[in-house]
Structure formats: C-alpha cells, structure tokens
Amino acid sequence: MMEIRTPKTHKAKRVLEKRAPKLVENGKKTLILHGTKTSATVSSVLMELYRLKKGGAIKYSRRNENIRPFESGGETSLEFFSLKTDCSIFVYGSHTKKRPDNLVLGRMYDHHVYDLIEVGIENFKSLLSFSYDKKIAPHEGSKPFICFTGEGFENVPELKQLKEVLTDLFRGEVVENLNLTGLDRAYICTAVSPTKVFLTHCAIKLKKSGTIVPRIELVEVGPSMDLVIRRNRLPNEGLRKEAMKSSKDKPKKKVKNVDQDDVLGKLGRVYIPEQEVGKIPLPDKSKGVKRERREGKVKKNKEEGSASKKLKESE
C-alpha cells in the first residue's frame, strides 16, 4: 500500500524544488566534518575553511567515528549527511599517528561518493596570524579568483584531480552578471613539487593604472598551508562520463544518405516512393481556375481602371 505525500506548505515545496535535479544546477554546498580525533591545526583549518565559504557550507561540530571515506563501508554516514544537507562536496579532517593533520576532500554525485583526495597539511598559518589593513578584507561570499601555477597540475594525475576539486570547492555559484567592485579575493595554488601544493588566500587591492584595467596587487590575508598529496580515488569511467554529461552536448547526428566521393565530391541519395497511378490527384481543370481565364480577368480589371481614369480626366 503506497500513499502519496506532498508538502503541505509552500516553503517546503520550494525547498524540495530547490533540491531536485535540474538542467542548470545550483552552486555546490560544502559539508565540513571532524573525524575521530582532530589536532589543533586540523580544527582551525576546518573552521577557517568554513568561514571562507560561509554562505555555502555547513559545518558539523561533533566527532564522527564511523566515517572512513576510503573504506567501502565507511561512506554510508557521509552519504546520509549529504542527502540531508544537500551538500555535494565534503571536507573531512582527522589526525592519526600514521596520517597527521589529514584532510579528505571529496565530491558526491547523486549523493554517492564520486571521488576522493587525501592531503596532509603542513606549515599552516591561520588567518588570525596575518596582519593587514582591515579595509581590504574580503567580504563574505564574494566570488574569488582562482589561480594555479606549475606544470605539475597538468602532468601529474593526482594534482590534476586536486586542481579540479579545489576549483569546485572555491568556485561558489556560477553567475552571469558580476559586479566589478565586488572582486576582492583570490586563491593562489602553486605546485611546488609533484606531491606538494602551496595554497594561500589573498585579498585584492585595485590600484589606478593608466587604462580602464586597474593594476592588481595581492595581499596575503587568509590561511596559507602546504598540501601534501597522500591517497586519492578517481571516479570510475562510467560514472565520470555520466557526471560530465550536460544537456547541451548533443550526440553527433549521423547524416544519412550523404557520401563523399573523391572523384565526384559530395554525393547524395534520393529515394522516390512508388507511384500509385490510380491514386495520383488529377489536375484541377475546372473553367474558373484555368490560367488564361485568370490572366484575362486581371487584364480586364486594369483596362477598366484606366478607362475610369480617362473618364475622370475628361470630366
């Protein structure tokens, strides 16, 4: 026995519609979690990440002991949280002896784990330790510039994945119209070595230059850390293809009945249906429709018109 449940309030209906799969999607929300044990650096990293992504992130403050992203059974809790909070990126921080200051960045597709990448944090500098002029402090929720430097991001597959994940994480909403005065932050990621990435967050100072384009100056404001790649899990091919599908990709339509010939050029085939002689519609030979009659009528009208003119002129 099944029953149909529909939301009883407009607000609930709007929430459900917002979470439904759409052609053009909303910005991805981030879920920030603690693991069984977290060190001071990890907790502050998670807190600062939450602050950077204030509008689009949800931070859980309790420990989660049954979440192990890289194990097969340890993802159920993550998927449940993702479903409940409608988040498709998660950041899971933990600290063990084997993996100190560990951060797992992961993405979800349809609320199932899509890919994971595990990084270790080194040389973490909190945003409180940077001193700068408060006027240039970036506003909450502003769209950031994201910059990647280094050949590693192109050659090393793990760094490639990290580049994609960081873009997804920092991107926020995809907007059509941008207010140029609201550009005040930039994330700089540099591949220092094939396994290490230096990440920092800077505020933008726009200085006058001779042209419309202002001169950009970056001032480090936010947290800066070194990310050391540990483990990763790439998405499986089928899932990746499905996730990358967008509505605008039309499958290449095979043009039928057209051939290319070297000698003759482009050849086409034309199919003529069988003629059913008995069923061909006969031409309309009724008197009024004949061309001579029609043309004769037109001429007559013209003459009459000119005749009436003559009459008028004579009068």
Footprint of another protein on 181-200 (CB under 8 A): 181-183, 186, 188, 190, 192, 198, 200
Q: 283 to each of 82, 288, 289, how far by Cα in Å?
A: 71, 13, 10
- For residues 43 and 132, which CB has a smaller minimum distance to another protein in the complex? 132
- 38-77 positions binding another protein, by CB under 8 A: none
Asked if 114 interacts with another protein (CB under 8 A), we say yes
Q: Which one of the spans 39-47, 91-99, 129-137, 169-177 is the region binding another protein (CB under 8 A)?
A: 169-177
Q: Provide the pairing of β-strand 89-94 with 57-63.
A: unpaired
Among 128, 244, 298, 311, binds another protein (CB under 8 A): 244
Asked if 304 interacts with another protein (CB under 8 A), we say no
Distance of CA 51 to the CA centre of its chain: 22
Least separation, in Å, of the C-beta of 200 and another protein?
7
Asked if 21 interacts with another protein (CB under 8 A), we say yes
**Closest residue by Cα to residue 216 from 229, 225, 231, 203:** 203
Radius of gyration of the chain (CA): 34
Among 77, 126, 168, 228, binds another protein (CB under 8 A): 168
Least separation, in Å, of the C-beta of 231 and another protein?
20
Burial letters 208-244, b for 16+ CB under 10 A, else e:
eeeeeeeeeebeebbbbbbbbbbebbebeeebeeeee
Question: How far apart are alpha carbons 230 and 158 in whole angstroms?
Answer: 9
Question: How far apart are alpha carbons 288 and 259 in whole angstroms?
Answer: 47
Asked if 234 interacts with another protein (CB under 8 A), we say no
Among 62, 98, 134, 178, binds another protein (CB under 8 A): 178
- For residues 6 and 314, which CB has a smaller minimum distance to another protein in the complex? 6
Q: Provide the pairing of β-strand 112-125 with 215-233.
A: antiparallel
Least separation, in Å, of the C-beta of 112 and another protein?
11
- For residues 6 and 275, which CB has a smaller minimum distance to another protein in the complex? 6
Among 33, 48, 107, 221, binds another protein (CB under 8 A): 107
Asked if 22 interacts with another protein (CB under 8 A), we say yes
Among 30, 41, 94, 224, binds another protein (CB under 8 A): 224
Backbone angles phi, psi at 257, to 5 degrees: 60, 25
Question: Using an 8 Å Cβ cutoff, are 229 and 158 in contact?
Answer: yes
Question: How far apart are alpha carbons 315 and 312 in whole angstroms?
Answer: 5
Asked if 213 interacts with another protein (CB under 8 A), we say yes
Asked if 290 interacts with another protein (CB under 8 A), we say no
Asked if 6 interacts with another protein (CB under 8 A), we say yes
Question: How far apart are alpha carbons 57 and 117 in whole angstroms?
Answer: 19
- For residues 141 and 182, which CB has a smaller minimum distance to another protein in the complex? 182
**Closest residue by Cα to residue 197 from 164, 150, 233:** 150
- For residues 5 and 252, which CB has a smaller minimum distance to another protein in the complex? 5
3-state secondary structure of 59: strand
- 116-145 positions binding another protein, by CB under 8 A: 123, 143-145
Among 91, 148, 161, 225, binds another protein (CB under 8 A): 148
Can you read off the two tokens belonging to residue 260? 């290319």
